[in-house]
Structure 1
Amino acid sequence: MSTELLKTIDWGKFSLLPVIAQAYDTQEVLMFAYMNEEALKLTLETGIAHYFSRSRQTLWKKGETSGHLQYVKEAYLDCDNDTLLIKVKQEGVACHTGRMSCFFNRVDIDEAPKEPQKTIEAYSIADTLYHIVQERKHADPKSSYVASLLQKGDNSMLKKVVEEAGEFCFACKDGEQEAIIYEAADLMFHTIVALGAKNIHPDRIKQELKRRFGLSGIEEKNSRNAH
């Protein structure tokens, strides 16, 4: 694929390029994402779609964990050179819900949006929970526990995190493995809700832990104090 495309885009003006992925054979719109300069460069070099995740703040290769790769067949810039359309051969499905396209939730103009059914595919549980939290921000708190937590605000939501942390500690003290696992799941769930409320993807926590590999606890603490 032509590397001239990289020079056409004003990366100083647009650090992230909006990208629409469309099925090469059926012309179905599959997903919307962003590429930074590095992601586009890798896409052009490999012929496989790479994107930049705003929530995780990291480069990602579409389908790297799920096997649902996107092989880029054609690419088109819009008239302003600030949006890219790629036509791809999609392996498997494009959406993390298990559907072919991310655009499945039809909104009728005269009717309220219908709640889509959720399925968990190859993406991690933490990723799925994060997306559920984002969706529940606009849900009815009477029908959703997550929505009710979000509506009550930080104090109530974070109080649950503290409560679950305490219950987890007591379970560890008692030494009952099933109770420890159960309480750890509760703690992780409410922590992900709190992260989602602040638009922080759980993968950011994984990146921070990865950053600390090779550092002693003292070195890591000193690096924080330096900031």
Structure 2
Amino acid sequence: MSKYDKLVPDFSKGLLTVVLQHFTNKNVLMVGFMNEEAFELTKRDEVVWFYSRSKDRLWKKGESSEHYQFVKDMYLDCDQDALLIMVDPAGPTCHRNTESCFDVLPAYSLSDLEETIRQRATEHDEKSYTNYLLDKGTDKITKKFGEEAFEVVIGAKNHDKEEVANETADLLYHLSVLLYDQGVSVADVTKVLIERHQTKNNFKGERKDINEW
């Protein structure tokens, strides 16, 4: 049994159009095609398989480069004839050695930062600054977060755009470590923002609806 058994594509129209999207930064990586067998293999292995129209055969994405596309989630469109797959790529998706087959600018999101911190935490690398902070605990992490916030304030007071950008990057990193320490995910924060966006005049005191920001 697969958790994707609920997905029932309509192959009566021909091959299924498949879009691969990075699961953290949301970059569109490539477009390919699946027949029913490729779809079943993708469900089974949770690694993307395609049907090559030019070679007339099944092919596992990354079979030559080992840049496999690990499935994080899959969604059918409303007509059941196109598939969106959220993937965690094991390397560049494009044969040009770029992240995407489309000429989009490289993206880096808070979800990417969250994933990096999670990886550092599981690797237990003694040289990792992330592990140093996590080992020291909440007091050290919150202290560093406060220091970085003050550095942003100083940059702003100096009207130094470069300093503000650099210190904000440091601040977001330390905030991400703090969230990890507290067991709060970017998705948890995003959920709150979505709720505030969808609900007007729902907060008291200083907590404002996002439409009032």
Normalised-by-shorter TM-score class: 0.5 to 0.7
The CA distance in 2 between the partners of 1:126 and 1:201, in whole Å, is 10
- What corresponds to 2:144 in structure 1? 160
SS of structure 2 residue aligned to 1:168: helix
> What whole-Å deviation, never above 9, does each CA across 1:4-33 have from its counterpart, x for those lacking one?
xxxxx8xxxxxxxxx5xxxxxxxxxxxxxx
The CA distance in 2 between the partners of 1:170 and 1:133, in whole Å, is 27
> What whole-Å deviation, never above 9, does each CA across 1:126-169 have from its counterpart, x for those lacking one?
22221221121134453111111111111111211121112212
Mapped pair 1:220 → 2:203 = yes
> What whole-Å deviation, never above 9, does each CA across 1:173-219 have from its counterpart, x for those lacking one?
23221111111111111111222334433244234323322555x53
Give the alignment partner of residue 130 of structure 2, picking from 146, 164, 177: 146
Q: Which amino acid aligns with 1:206?
A: T
- What corresponds to 2:91 in structure 1? 99
SS of structure 2 residue aligned to 1:197: helix
Contact kept, 8 Å, 1:130 with 1:202, in 2: the verdict is yes
Q: CA 1:134 to 1:75, structure 2 compared with 1: closer, same or farther past 3 Å? A: same
Contact kept, 8 Å, 2:117 with 2:177, in 1: the verdict is yes
Q: CA 1:198 to 1:121, structure 2 compared with 1: closer, same or farther past 3 Å? A: farther
Q: Which amino acid aligns with 2:118?
A: Q
Contact kept, 8 Å, 2:155 with 2:164, in 1: the verdict is yes
Q: CA 1:149 to 1:97, structure 2 compared with 1: closer, same or farther past 3 Å? A: farther
Give the alignment partner of residue 88 of structure 1, picking from 49, 74, 80: 49
The CA distance in 2 between the partners of 1:74 and 1:120, in whole Å, is 25
Mapped pair 1:124 → 2:108 = yes
The CA distance in 1 between the partners of 2:195 and 2:168, in whole Å, is 24
Q: Which runs of 5+ in 1 are unaligned?
A: 1-8, 10-18, 20-34, 50-60, 77-83, 102-118
Q: Which amino acid aligns with 2:27?
A: T
SS of structure 1 residue aligned to 2:49: strand
Runs of 4+ in 1 over 6 A off after TM superposition: none
SS of structure 2 residue aligned to 1:75: helix
Contact kept, 8 Å, 1:68 with 1:94, in 2: the verdict is no
Q: Which amino acid aligns with 1:85?
A: R
Contact kept, 8 Å, 1:138 with 1:147, in 2: the verdict is no
Contact kept, 8 Å, 2:92 with 2:99, in 1: the verdict is no
The CA distance in 1 between the partners of 2:204 and 2:29, in whole Å, is 38
The CA distance in 2 between the partners of 1:221 and 1:91, in whole Å, is 51
Q: CA 1:40 to 1:193, structure 2 compared with 1: closer, same or farther past 3 Å? A: farther
Q: Which runs of 5+ in 2 are unaligned?
A: 11-15, 51-59, 63-67, 71-87, 101-106, 208-213
Q: Which amino acid aligns with 1:67?
A: L
Give the alignment partner of residue 135 of structure 1, picking from 86, 106, 119: 119
Contact kept, 8 Å, 2:29 with 2:99, in 1: the verdict is no
> What whole-Å deviation, never above 9, does each CA across 1:24-43 have from its counterpart, x for those lacking one?
xxxxxxxxxxx4xxx654x3
Within-5 A mapping of 1:62-81: 63=21, 65-68=27-30, 71=34, 73-75=38-40
Tell me how far 1:62 sits from its aligned partner. 5.1
- What corresponds to 1:79 in structure 2? none
Q: Percent same amino acid among aligned pairs?
A: 20
TM-score (norm 1): 0.51
SS of structure 2 residue aligned to 1:44: coil
SS of structure 2 residue aligned to 1:171: helix
